[in-house]
Structure 1
Amino acid sequence: MSAVPAGELPHGLLTAARQHRAGTDLPGRVDGETWLRALPRLVDEALDRWSLRVDRGEPLRHGLTALVVPVTRPRGDPGVLKIGWPHEESDTEHLALRAWHGRGAVQLLAADPPSGALLLERLDAGRDLTIGSVQGTSEALGGLLSRLDRPAPPWAPPLSGQLVRIRDQAQRAATDAALAHRFPRRLLQQAASLAADLAGEEGLDARLVHTDLHQANVLWRAQPGEWAAIDPKTVAGDPHWAVAPAMWNRWDDALAAADLRSHLTSRLELVCGAGGLDPDRARAMTIVRLADNALWSVRHGRDDVADEITRSVAIIKAMQRG
């Protein structure tokens, strides 16, 4: 019997993974349902490979694309085994973690890229930035952006290429009459124009950027007492590109604020202040990313597309100057 049988897999992971489609970018990609069937075997193989034991005193955890199993290493020290669904954004996770070597990010202890298995240090999974003051959590995110900043390695996909794609898709969407009543055309045109300007900048692809750095992707490292980023999705780009996730996460807090625009502006300025970034440049990149998020939801027929569009429009409007 598997150490983590199919019947023990978290319900949230089952729900999320079953929505994942097989990628077409490389041979061997599988859909989420196929990956779930293989998951117990992948866990067992990783446990054997690194001589690990499941730590039954801690619960299984998960994200949208990975199972996280608390484990005990051969000498008795704790770790976590992460088995991820194979997709394009996860391909470079082990490379990014090796590049950071624990500076501002979770420490990678071992990796088996073909199986999507990572052995990581165990952080405090019960302590992240989804609670706490806007000032404190935003400044912590900004501080991590600064710590993670380093020259882009050759394996990181270039941000300029993404911006060209976003420009083209936003331009097409701006002429789509069926979309016009769901997403303001002027905001699509603005996003296309900003993406075009940014994509043409010399030196845009110079830095290694964690593009999914948000409040739930930061955990506490008890020794020496500091925050560390997890689950990197990386590009060779500009650190300002990484500010946007801090805007769309903890959305209930934003909605509860007396003034949504002021709340989001404050978040952005706090992140930028702590990270040594230019707020105007962060606003421009946030506008582009939010438009892209909304269009992605439309293209993929997401059940929450209406909420995604509403949130994206609200954030884009809050990012306008003046």
Structure 2
Amino acid sequence: MESLRDLTPPRRLAAALPASEAGWLAGLPELAERVAERFGLTVERLVEPGGRSSVALLVRRADGTRATLKLVAPGPAGQPAPAELELAALRRWDGLAAVRVLDAAPEDGALLLERLHGETSLRSLPDAKATLEALSTLRRLWVAPGEDHPFPSVGERTGFALGALRAAAGGEAGPLVERALELRDELLAGPPEEVLLHGDFRQGAVLASDGERAPWLAVGPEPAVGERAFDLARLVRDRLHDLMASPGAAAIARRRVTRLSGTVEADPDRVRGWALYRGVASGVRQLAAGRRADGEALLEFASWL
């Protein structure tokens, strides 16, 4: 890359970020240049299409080591800084089933990570094999969060979206939204479980590595502390568009709940409940962002459960 001053943020990122992040987005080239100089990095290229809340650059350190520089948007005001939470989770895992942190400047939302094969995720495998690998990875991520940890509880994490959900209760998806809100209350009133969760675990968040520690490593956590069913719930709707194109999609989704729950000895009713809640919450968020097709697909998925 000739100059970071010429860095153009990926279109996916620019389209997904809310207006409140416009200042961060505009200052991204200068931020990338400053962080690269601080860490002594040579930037090779921008990773595209990239994520919806961060940008990744392939870099080399001064000693020639390949790495990935991730710059994370600050996130909504009043909520924990995403980069700080991600850093805390990755350090807690310390390379166990997850990408390793090489350096960090959390005040700038900057994480310098070991480089994985970003073009190869578990989605490159047949679904059955990918699911087995995903569950193997997930089991190793479920550790105690540690004393004085900074991670929000699942109740706090889901609480951030309650305003938007309650506002959607008067719309066309009102009955489904109301059911999701009821389920959240019921699930949070259940027996507590305190493990560190990835928070956004899916096949696309597990990348191929060089195999020194494990062939597959998780990236991009949105960590929280709570029950394992919350992580499994996101996995239930993996490859959603493929699922929707399959005959008997609703029955397949329900069987996924049973299969995933049985593999890790989780309560299938709790997995089903969180899968419905998370599907509705994501669907409402997509609709609010103007991504109607994605939002409607998520709400249809939730209706199957």
TM-score by length of 2: 0.86
TM-superposition CA deviations, 1:53-92 (whole Å, max 9, x none):
1235xx5342111111111122212111111111144431
Partner of 1:83: 71
- In the alignment, the residues of structure 2 paired with residue 8 and residue 295 of structure 1 have an alpha-carbon distance, to the nearest angstrom, of 29
Shift of residue 210, structure 1, vs aligned partner? 1.0
Could you tell me which amino acid in structure 1 is paired with residue 5 of structure 2? P
Change (3 A) 1:67 1:306: closer
Correspondences of 1:150-189 after superposition (within 5 Å): 150-153=143-146, 154-163=149-158, 173-174=168-169, 176=170, 179=171, 182-183=172-173, 185=175, 187-189=176-178
- In the alignment, the residues of structure 2 paired with residue 318 and residue 134 of structure 1 have an alpha-carbon distance, to the nearest angstrom, of 20
Give the counterpart of 2:202 among 205, 214, 217: 214
Shift of residue 164, structure 1, vs aligned partner? 5.6
Could you tell me which amino acid in structure 1 is paired with residue 47 of structure 2? L
Change (3 A) 1:245 1:163: closer
Could you tell me which amino acid in structure 2 is paired with residue 21 of structure 1? A
Partner of 1:26: none
User: Are positions 1:313 and 2:288 aligned together?
Assistant: no
Correspondences of 1:215-294 after superposition (within 5 Å): 215-224=203-212, 225-294=214-283
**Would you identify which runs of 4 or more consecutive aligned residues in structure 1 move more than 4 Å?**
162-174
Does structure 2 retain, via aligned residues, the 8 Å contact 1:144–1:275?
Answer: no
Shift of residue 137, structure 1, vs aligned partner? 1.5
Could you tell me which amino acid in structure 2 is paired with residue 255 of structure 1? M
Partner of 2:189: 200
Could you tell me which amino acid in structure 1 is paired with residue 139 of structure 2? S
Could you tell me which amino acid in structure 1 is paired with residue 10 of structure 2? P
Give the counterpart of 1:72 among 53, 60, 84: 60
User: Are positions 1:110 and 2:103 aligned together?
Assistant: yes
Does structure 2 retain, via aligned residues, the 8 Å contact 1:123–1:220?
Answer: yes
TM-superposition CA deviations, 1:43-62 (whole Å, max 9, x none):
12222222111235xx5342
Does structure 1 retain, via aligned residues, the 8 Å contact 2:97–2:140?
Answer: yes
Point out where structure 1 has 5 or more consecutive residues left out of the alignment: 23-30
Partner of 2:78: none
User: Are positions 1:93 and 2:86 aligned together?
Assistant: yes
Identity of aligned residues (%): 25
Does structure 2 retain, via aligned residues, the 8 Å contact 1:139–1:270?
Answer: no
- In the alignment, the residues of structure 2 paired with residue 236 and residue 164 of structure 1 have an alpha-carbon distance, to the nearest angstrom, of 13
- In the alignment, the residues of structure 1 paired with residue 237 and residue 91 of structure 2 have an alpha-carbon distance, to the nearest angstrom, of 28
TM-score by length of 1: 0.82
Point out where structure 2 has 5 or more consecutive residues left out of the alignment: 76-80
Change (3 A) 1:123 1:113: same
- In the alignment, the residues of structure 1 paired with residue 284 and residue 208 of structure 2 have an alpha-carbon distance, to the nearest angstrom, of 34
Shift of residue 168, structure 1, vs aligned partner? 7.8
- In the alignment, the residues of structure 2 paired with residue 190 and residue 8 of structure 1 have an alpha-carbon distance, to the nearest angstrom, of 42
TM-superposition CA deviations, 1:4-54 (whole Å, max 9, x none):
23354433333334xx232xxxxxxxx2x3212211221122222221112
Correspondences of 1:101-140 after superposition (within 5 Å): 101-140=94-133
Does structure 2 retain, via aligned residues, the 8 Å contact 1:156–1:234?
Answer: yes
Change (3 A) 1:133 1:265: farther
User: Are positions 1:6 and 2:6 aligned together?
Assistant: yes
Query: CA RMSD of the aligned region, Å?
Result: 2.6
- In the alignment, the residues of structure 1 paired with residue 74 and residue 163 of structure 2 have an alpha-carbon distance, to the nearest angstrom, of 27
SS at match of 1:265: helix
User: Are positions 1:21 and 2:19 aligned together?
Assistant: yes
Partner of 2:44: 55
Change (3 A) 1:168 1:123: closer
Change (3 A) 1:313 1:8: closer
